[in-house]
Chains A and B, each alone.
Chain A
Amino acid sequence: MTCREFEPMLHAFVDGELDVETTTAAQAHVSSCPECHGRVDGERRLRLLLGQQPQDVAPPELRARLLAVARWERRRAALRVWLGVPAFAIAAVLLAALLMTRAMPPGPSAPRFVDTLVDKHLVYAQIESPAEFTSSEPGQVAAWLRNRIGMRVPVPDYSHAGIRLVGARIAEADERKLAYLLYEKGHMLMSVFMLPDAAEAQTLPGKAVSYRGHEYLTRERKSLRTVSWRDGQAVFSLVSMLDYDALLECADRLRAERARETRL
């Protein structure tokens, strides 16, 4: 091999991109030609220098965000499979507990209100970060909600049932502020909206059922089941793809958690 022949393959040689035969021939030339040897040496030094450059690493927050994005995206895709409906109707599990504040203006009719919550859930199921505050610690979530809306709100722990707390947000439905909790079970969502103190007597929609000595109203809409009830001044409404047994169990625990909070 001559210098002229070697020249065009200098970089491929240094980068180890030549085939075995050509590499052998090139190596033989480089060993016998001080000038080409110098060039190869120079290229290697440059590569070495570049390889020693400090390398940026992705910030941990970005990493965490991407993992969350992947989880949400997969959940949405899986829901699409489950529901067999287009992306807009994606929804997993919603557990919406509704409590209304005294300060709020009289609301619209109850059926429409619960429907609004179902729609809210459908929206939250599709956005990438449904929770404004992310924590799996009920105490932290309760504290955040207390600071944000100045209300004591029960944050039940369902982890024994594999239902993990994701976080919370302040939701708005019909110009009312709702406290909203979000849970997930595997790829499924479970959200909780919470607002204490409903001013006016709301007529809640649905079929009356009794569970562990308490009355609940059940209603199905857009493939989601809702379980609603009144507890003192508060109105709760759970909306979910979970079956009614699971929902009622969640409702019962939420009720117990609220009773415990009230005693404190």
Chain B
Amino acid sequence: MLRWVRGRGQAPEFEDVALVHLDLLYRTALRLTHNRAEAEDLVQETWLRALRHFDQFDPGSNCRAWLVTILRNAFLNKLRREGRERLESEAAGDSAGSATFEDSAVERSTPEEEFLQTVFHGDVERALKTLSEASRQVIMLADLEGFTYREIAQVLSCPIGTVMSRLSRARQLLRKELRALAREHGYSEGSR
């Protein structure tokens, strides 16, 4: 009585490969939008875009990087549509505040980095928020989501060398912020 045409044959269903990355997508969206409702909308838009282009996805390739790339592009498009140039302006502010190697060498004067032990979870959130969007993204992907440089390069559509330099700069900036917060909590250099 009912006939159904399945165009995809034995290929995996979209949900089978995409759903396992939902938490990652949601977190990434949250970090971009800083708003739960907006994050959900962004994830849904990403989901729909990915679904519609699923035939272009090579099952052997990297699904999570593909999905995060779509999410990021969807977010950037939305910013452009809304005329918000947040990313660009923040990226500019970032380079102004970037630490040179010499700075970071000074910051690293306690090699054991004991101050990290006085850092609270809330501090990390606060410190991350002081970073530019670009720096935050690269740290989130590398250190919170465990992306490889190659995956990050795909998501940010930049060379791997750029990922390395951004990551190194972003971590220096983050360390600097965390150290400042640790001092606020009363940590002093050489106190232990």
Chain A residues whose C-beta falls within 8 Å of the C-beta of B175 in the assembled complex: 42, 46
Question: Which residue of chain B has the shortest Cβ distance to A73 in the bound complex?
Answer: B51
- A211 contacts B by Cβ under 8 Å: no
In Å, the complex CA distance between A77 and B125 comes to 42
Contact partner, A66, options B2, B44, B125, B146, Cβ 8 Å: B44
B103 beta carbon closer than 8 Å to chain A: no
Residue A127 at the chain B interface, CB threshold 8 Å? no
A176, CB-defined interface residue at 8 Å = no
- State the CA gap A38–B142 with chains docked (Å): 21
Check B47 against A69 for contact (C-beta < 8 Å): yes
Interface size class, chain A: 35 or more
**Measured CA separation A62–B40 after assembly (Å):** 7
Chain A interface, >50% SS class: helix
A255 at the binding interface (Cβ < 8 Å): no
Complex: A46 Cα to B175 Cα, angstroms? 8
Given the contacts A66-B47, A187-B4, A55 and B27 also touching, CB distance less than 8 Å: yes
Name the contact of A58 in the complex, choosing from B1, B22, B101 (C-beta under 8 A): B22
Decide if A63 touches B2 in the complex (CB within 8 Å): no
Cβ of B108 within 8 Å of any chain A Cβ, yes or no, is yes
Q: Which residue of A lies closest to B148 (CB)?
A: A17
Does chain B have a CB within 8 A of A103?
Answer: no
**A17-B149 contact in complex given A69-B51, A73-B52, C-beta closer than 8 Å:** yes
* A253 at the binding interface (Cβ < 8 Å): no
Kindly list chain B residues whose C-beta atoms are within 8 Å of the C-beta of A188. 2, 4
Neighbouring A residues of B158 by C-beta, 8 Å: none
Q: What does the 1/0 interface line of B7-39 toward A look like (CB < 8 Å)? A: 100000111000100110111001000000000
CB-CB nearest in chain B for A34: B111
Residues of B within 8 A of A232 (CB): none
Is B44 in contact with A58, judged by CB distance below 8 angstroms? no
Whether the pair B44, A78 counts as a contact (CB closer than 8 A) is: no
Mask, B85-121, CB within 8 Å of A = 1, is 0000000000000000100000010011100100101
Are the CB atoms of B124 and A45 closer together than 8 Å? no
Bound together, the chains give a CA A194 to CA B104 distance in angstroms of: 71
- Tell which of B57-65, B68-76, B166-174 binds the partner: B166-174
Tell me, in angstroms, the Cα distance from A41 to B13 when the chains sit together: 43
B 165-187 binary contact with A (CB < 8 Å = 1; else 0): 00110010011001000000000
Residue contact B116 to A49, C-beta cutoff 8 Å: yes
Instruction: Indicate which residue in A57, A62, A81, A243 contacts B44 across the interface (CB closer than 8 Å).
Output: A62
What 0/1 readout, one digit per residue, does chain A (50-82) give for beta carbons within 8 Å of chain B? 111111111100110111011001100110011
Q: Are A243 and B1 in contact (CB under 8 A)?
A: yes
Measured in the bound complex, the distance between the Cα atoms of B129 and A53 in whole Å is: 14
| Given A35-B111, A47-B143, A63-B19, 15 further pairs, Cβ under 8 A | A11-B168, A11-B171, A15-B142, A17-B148, A38-B108, A42-B175, A50-B143, A51-B143, A52-B121, A57-B23, A65-B44, A69-B48, A69-B51, A186-B2, A188-B4
Q: List 21 A-B contacts (CB under 8 A).
A: A12-B149, A15-B167, A38-B111, A41-B111, A45-B116, A46-B143, A52-B121, A55-B23, A56-B30, A59-B26, A62-B44, A65-B44, A66-B15, A66-B22, A69-B44, A69-B48, A70-B47, A73-B52, A186-B2, A187-B4, A245-B1
Lowest 4 A-B CB distances belong to which pairs? A38-B111, A58-B26, A50-B143, A42-B113
Interface residues of B (CB under 8 A from A): 1-2, 4-7, 13-15, 19, 22-23, 25-27, 30, 40, 43-44, 47-48, 51-52, 101, 108, 111-113, 116, 119, 121, 124-125, 139, 142-144, 146, 148-149, 164, 167-168, 171, 174-175, 178
